[in-house]
């Protein structure tokens, strides 16, 4: 407490110790002035450049290790080889095709798993009977690692597309279920009462109060689900894939093409990044009303 009082007693122009102290002394009254922290005041090199230097150094070290032979190509191909094989894969169209196949798998799985998760969450969230019937089995099943289900999925669905999509669907259903359900149950009860005094019907209450109130939670669930969709995709594509990034990787493994494997890993990373960006954009659009959301 005493530190606050001390600050308050210092004359205004002295408060910002950095550049702002000398700039524009306040002309009477407690007018607001922007105080820039000393750390971000800048030391010549822009912050983004400094942040970028770490990864660049890493790549440089990698390159150095591979051209000097410290890191043999069979263990890990050098960055230049990786780049050229990426260019080759893009030129032949193999990479784009594989990406499309993988992306479609992930999204199909997410669509199926997500709709199941959201539907069950709404049933369990809105109706007490639904909660009694749905919640306990869901809570039980969510603790089973879904990768452990792969043998069972292969027996059920064979080794085609179905088990891969089923694995992704299984993985994505739970985070969405848990978060949408929690979101519905955590809707502010005073808002529900306000809705009642306005004469909202049950359907209108769900549409205008309960579902919008659950949306922030639902988007958190979507983010988790997308993360898991990616993980499940990588596992799923190890099951006898005939197309997709996983197939590309499995092939490369057969021929010790570490460069292609690295390209595939980078592609997985970028697809994940793209999906995260999509969710952030959705949040910016749908949660603009939230004071806590300060922009992506």
Partner 1 sequence: MVALTVEAPAAYVAAGQRIDIEKVSHQFELEGEPLPVLDEVGFSVEPGSFVALLGPSGCGKSTLLRLLAGLDHPTEGALKVDGTVVGDPDPSRILVFQDPTLFPWRTVWDNVALGLEAQGILKSSRHRVDKAIELVGLGGFDKAYPHQLSGGMAQRVALARALVNEPRLLLLDEPLGKLDSLTRLTMQTELVKLWQEAGLTAVLVTHDVEEALFLTQRVLIFGPRPARIVADITVDLPYPRHRGDPRLAELRREALGHLGLAATW
Enumerate binding residues for partner 1 (CB under 8 A). 188, 190-191, 193-201, 204, 208-209, 212-213, 215, 288-291
Measured CA to CA, the distance from residue 38 to residue 51 in angstroms comes to 18
* Beta carbon nearer to partner 1, 22 or 197: 197
DSSP 32: -
Nearer to partner 1, 132 or 188 (CB): 188
User: What's the closest the beta carbon of residue 201 comes to partner 1, in angstroms?
Assistant: 7
Q: How far is the CB of 226 from partner 1 (least distance, A)?
A: 23
The angle subtended at Cα 71 by Cα 65 and Cα 75, nearest 5°, is 145
Q: Whole-number minimum distance, CB 222 to partner 1, in Å?
A: 17
Distance separating alpha carbons of residues 66 and 178, to the nearest angstrom: 47
At a CB cut-off of 8 Å and minimum separation 6, what does 169 contact?
109, 110, 112, 113, 116
**Between 194 and 273, whose beta carbon lies closer to partner 1?**
194
CA atoms within 13 A on the CB side of 85: 19
Alpha-carbon dihedral 165, 169, 172, 175, rounded to 10 degrees: -170
Supply φ then ψ for residue 43, to 5 degrees: -125, 45
C-beta closer to partner 1: residue 145 or 291: 291
* Tokens (6 digits) for 249: 């990787």
Nearer to partner 1, 36 or 281 (CB): 281
* Smallest separation (angstroms) from partner 1 to the CB of 195: 8
- Of 10 and 288, the one with the shorter C-beta distance to partner 1 is 288
Q: How far is the CB of 122 from partner 1 (least distance, A)?
A: 18
Q: Is 273 exposed, middle or buried (0-12, 13-18, 19+ CB in 10 A)?
A: exposed
CA distance 79 to 154: 37
Report the nearest approach of partner 1 to the CB of residue 218 (Å): 13
β-pair partners for 177: none
**18 vs 212, which CB is nearer to partner 1?**
212
Cβ(213)–Cβ(185) under 8 Å? no
Q: CB of residue 283 vs partner 1: minimum separation in angstroms?
A: 13
């Amino acid at each position: 407490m005493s530190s606050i009082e001390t600050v308050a007693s210092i004359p205004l122009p002295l408060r910002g110790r950095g550049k702002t102290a000398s700039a524009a002394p306040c002309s009477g009254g407690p007018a607001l002035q922007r105080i820039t922290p000393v750390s971000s005041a800048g030391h010549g090199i822009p912050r983004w450049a400094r942040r970028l230097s770490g990864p660049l150094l890493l790549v440089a070290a990698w390159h150095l290790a591979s051209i000097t032979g410290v890191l043999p190509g069979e263990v890990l191909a050098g960055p230049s080889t990786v780049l050229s094989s990426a260019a080759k894969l893009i030129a032949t169209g193999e990479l784009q095709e594989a990406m499309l196949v993988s992306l479609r798998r992930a999204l199909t799985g997410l669509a199926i798993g997500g709709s199941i998760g959201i539907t069950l969450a709404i049933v369990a969230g809105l109706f007490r009977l639904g909660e009694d019937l749905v919640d306990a089995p869901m809570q039980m099943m969510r603790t089973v690692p879904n990768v452990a289900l792969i043998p069972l999925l292969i027996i059920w669905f064979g080794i085609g597309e179905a088990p891969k999509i089923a694995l992704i669907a299984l993985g994505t259903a739970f985070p969405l279920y848990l978060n949408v359900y929690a979101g519905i149950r955590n809707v502010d009860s005073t808002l529900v009462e306000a809705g009642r005094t306005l004469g909202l019907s049950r359907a209108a209450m769900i549409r205008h109060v309960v579902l919008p109130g659950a949306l922030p939670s639902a988007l958190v669930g979507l983010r988790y689900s997308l993360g898991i969709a990616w993980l499940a995709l990588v596992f799923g594509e190890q099951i006898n894939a005939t197309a997709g990034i996983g197939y590309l990787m499995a092939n490369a493994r057969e021929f010790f093409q570490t460069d292609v494997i690295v390209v595939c890993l980078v592609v997985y990373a970028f697809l994940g990044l793209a999906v995260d960006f999509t969710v952030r954009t959705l949040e910016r659009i749908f949660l603009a009303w939230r004071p806590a959301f300060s922009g992506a």
